């Protein structure tokens, strides 16, 4: 069984989550490969997909949405899980941060689950405009990814795949 963990990341936080998921699945004996959506055009031989995107201003990255739309026929034929990353801090409510495309993605892909994970912000990686936006909204700098939570979610994916 081969799982594709496809992701759209701008500054590396979502990529880190995707790589962690692939490594965690591999540690449980499930072949998994983490790739940016731009490098995941061929879905031949893929038995399941975990698709994730960074969320900016309430939206998934354009390339992640385009990947889902381009491959909808292949994705509905295999188990799919979705994840989003982006909220910063510890007081953000999950329901408030759902990407606007999530309803459409659910309707088209019928994923088994979607999970929102906290992200990370390293202001050194931001361009001038992004730094100004982060300053205006008082975004907290730091890594807020909860690796235990991501691991538990990934373990659920592994259980789902191995029970089939």
Give me the CATH number covering residue 100: 3.40.50.360
Structure tokens at 39: 């490098």
Q: Which residue has the higher pLDDT, 158 or 124?
A: 158
Query: For position 29, what pLDDT does the model report?
Result: 96
pLDDT value, residue 94: 47
Report how many domains make up the chain.
1
User: Pairing between strand 80-85 and 31-36?
Assistant: unpaired
Q: What is the rounded average pLDDT of the residues 122-139?
A: 60
Containing 142, the helix (H) or strand (E) segment is strand 142-143
Residue 89's pLDDT band (cuts 50, 70, 90): low
> pLDDT tens across 20-46, in order?
999 999 999 999 999 999 999 889 999
Which is more confidently placed, 47 or 138? 47
Q: Answer yes or no: is pLDDT of 85 > 70.
A: yes
pLDDT at residue number 32: 98
C-alpha to C-alpha distance for 28 and 23, rounded to whole angstroms: 9
Domain that holds residue 99: 2-162
Q: Which residues pair with 60 in a beta bridge?
A: 55
Q: Which two tokens stand for residue 6?
A: 């496809």
């Amino acid at each position: 069984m081969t799982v594709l963990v496809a992701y759209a990341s701008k500054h590396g936080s979502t990529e880190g989550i995707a790589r962690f998921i692939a490594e965690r699945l591999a540690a449980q004996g499930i072949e998994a490969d983490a790739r940016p959506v731009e490098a995941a055009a061929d879905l031949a031989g893929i038995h399941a997909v975990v698709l994730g995107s960074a969320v900016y201003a309430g939206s998934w990255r354009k390339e992640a949405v385009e990947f889902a739309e381009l491959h909808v026929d292949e994705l509905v034929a295999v188990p799919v899980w979705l994840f989003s990353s982006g909220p910063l801090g510890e007081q953000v409510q999950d329901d408030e941060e759902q990407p606007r495309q999530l309803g459409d993605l659910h309707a088209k892909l019928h994923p088994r689950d979607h999970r929102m994970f906290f992200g990370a912000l390293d202001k050194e990686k931001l361009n001038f405009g992004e730094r100004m936006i982060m300053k205006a909204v008082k975004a907290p700098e730091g890594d807020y990814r909860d690796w235990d939570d991501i691991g538990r979610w990934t373990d659920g994916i592994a259980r789902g795949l191995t029970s089939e």
